[in-house]
Amino acid sequence: MGADENIRPLEASIVTDFRDRMSYASYLDLDTLLSAQHPVSTPVHHDELLFIIAHQTSELWLKLTLHELEGATSALARDDVAVALKCIARVKHIQKSLTEQWSVLATLTPTEYSQFRGFLGNASGFQSCQYRAVEFVLGNKNADALRVFESDPPSHELLSRLLAQPSLYDEFWRHLSRAGLDVPESALTRDVSAPYTSNTELIPLIKQVYEHPHEHWAAYESFEELVDLEENFQLWRFRHMRTVLRTIGTKAGTGGSSGVGFLQRALDLTFFPELFAVRTEVGR
């Protein structure tokens, strides 16, 4: 095969002059995006770029996750369950990307990470405003967490707003009530700024839906979508914990947490507890 046979010629219609046109790079602002990686190790360690890009990529996915979850919450508030489920379906795919991304970071060995970890100071994923915002939208609210963001007014303002607003789950029960299901008053009038706790008064309604799905198909489908959402989140948490264990063992986190122990305790947190508790009751 000659050299000229291994070339794909440009088609005559392909645009090549971008002096007065929007290009791929300008649309995506690649100059800004690709110049946003600033290693702090001295001398710069080869693997720090991996560490930075992995976390920056996660933040981009979290930005989209938050966008979609807020979209789903708003859709439920106006009883547009189809749009809400579409947003949740997209989030589920994003979660898969976020979870698989830990496998890239896990290629960072303890030896490699230890050579630049000390330069991070107190910077820690615990300080991710967007991660905290996602948890708030899903109902895992903690007003104490706002103290971490007191020196960051925009982040503090975002979390304060989400703390005071109904979560996705709150709006879901309000939607079902308007749809004619017998949702207990306790689920409709709870303090939405408080961390969500299991409400056993919801179990009979959820059980009824699961045992008669064809009579309540929209609710039945929605329950399972929410279960998928939580399971994916738990898988992400687990991969996070295991990656940290693989990389630093049981050392304390750079942000002051206990590290792996702190992440393990997060696995006990739940967003939609009744949707799992009902499994024990169905079929009895």
Q: Is-contact 222 85, C-beta < 8 A?
A: yes
Give the annotated binding-site residues. Answer: 113, 117, 240, 254
Alpha-helix residue ranges (DSSP H) falling in the chain: 24-27, 30-33, 48-77, 81-105, 110-114, 129-137, 153-164, 168-178, 185-188, 203-211, 217-248, 260-266, 273-281
Instruction: Tell me if the bond preceding 166 is cis, omega within 30° of 0.
Output: no
* Sequence ranges of the binding site for substrate: 113, 117, 254
Tell me the binding residues for heme: 240
Measure the CA–CA gap between 170 and 165, rounded to whole angstroms.
9
Q: What is the DSSP string of 212-242?
A: SGGGSHHHHHHHHHHHHHHHHHHHHHHHHHH
